[in-house]
Amino acid sequence: MEVLDTVIGFASDAPFDAEIHLLSHAGKVEYLDISPNDVSRRRIRLSTDKGTDCAIALAREQRLADGAVLKLESDRAIVVRLSEQEWLAVSACDQAAALELGYFAGNLHWKVRFDGTILLIALEGPMQTYLDRLEVILAQGKVKVVGPND
C-alpha cells in the first residue's frame, strides 16, 4: 500500500509539467481515476491504472483535483485523473413547470447547473434513479428530458 498524504503540485504547472511530461513518455506515470462524487474526499483507497494500491490521506486543508501530483520520484509519478461529471439535461414547458421543477430539484438536494432554460442535474448515481423521481412531471408533460449532457 502506498500512502499518499500530500498534493505536491499540479501536472500542468511548472516545474512539474516538464517532469511529468518526460515520465509520461517513458510510461512511468500512474493515474488514479477519481469520480466527481469522490473528489471531495480527503481519504480514499484506490488502485492506480497500473494496479498500485494507494491510500490517499490528505490534510484537511488540501483537496484533490484533476492533475494533482501525489507522488513524484525520479522514475515514477502518481497523478489524479478526474473523470467527467455526467449530467441529465431537462427543460420545463412553461414558467409554472419551471418553478415546480426547481422546487423539486431543491427538495431532493440535487446538484444542478443552469444552461439558459435547461436545468442540468449532476448524476451522483444511476440516471434511472433520477428519471424515476421525475416520472410524474415527465408523464404530465411539464418537463422533458433533452438529453444527457457532459
Residues 132 and 139: their CA atoms lie apart, in Å, by 11
x/- contact string, 22-61, with another protein (CB under 8 A)? Answer: ----x-x---------x-xxxxxx---------x-xxxx-
- For every residue of 127-147, DSSP letters joined together read HHHHHHHTHHHHHTTSEEEEE
In the complex with another protein, the residue whose CB is nearer, 16 or 87, is: 16
In the complex with another protein, the residue whose CB is nearer, 41 or 147, is: 41
x/- contact string, 79-118, with another protein (CB under 8 A)? Answer: ------------------------------x---------
The burial of 61, by beta-carbon neighbours within 10 Å (0-12 exposed, 13-18 middle, 19 or more buried), is given as exposed
Residues 66 and 46: their CA atoms lie apart, in Å, by 15
* Distance of closest approach, residue 124 Cβ to another protein, in angstroms: 7
